[in-house]
Amino acid sequence: MATRKSLLLKQLQVAILCFSSVYCGWREGLTIQEIIAEQRRRSVSANPAERLAAALLIPNLLRERLRSLPDCEIGELLEHEVCSNLSVLA
């Protein structure tokens, strides 16, 4: 059991390291809407490493970007991302 946990922990560390190095250049040129779309795409991926990125790495990037936005831009982003997905008949 301890060996399995240590193996999983090592795999997780390797995956985070790999994705961190890949995302360093990737994340600079994307808009917040593109980052959200990328997170949605990766969260349903068959690849566990992609889902890991969607669960752990991309939210931190979004948090950093959202902190730099003024309230009015956050409101516009919410309107675009949330309201556009609501249905009148839902």
More confident residue, 43 or 26: 43
The total of other beta-carbon atoms located within 10 Å of residue 81's CB is 13
Asked whether the beta carbons of 65 and 27 are under 8 A apart, the reply is: no
Question: Rounded to two decimals, what is the model's pTM?
Answer: 0.62
Between 89 and 48, the more confident residue is 48
Neighbours of 37 (CB within 10 A): 13
pLDDT digits (tens, 9 = 90+) for 22-35: 555 555 678 888 88
pLDDT in tens, 49-71: 778 878 888 888 888 888 988 99
Q: What is the mean pLDDT of the chain?
A: 77
Distances, alpha carbon 14 to alpha carbons 5, 17, 47, 49, 52, in Å: 14, 5, 15, 10, 11
pLDDT at residue 70 in the model: 92
**Would you list the domain boundaries of the chain?**
2-85
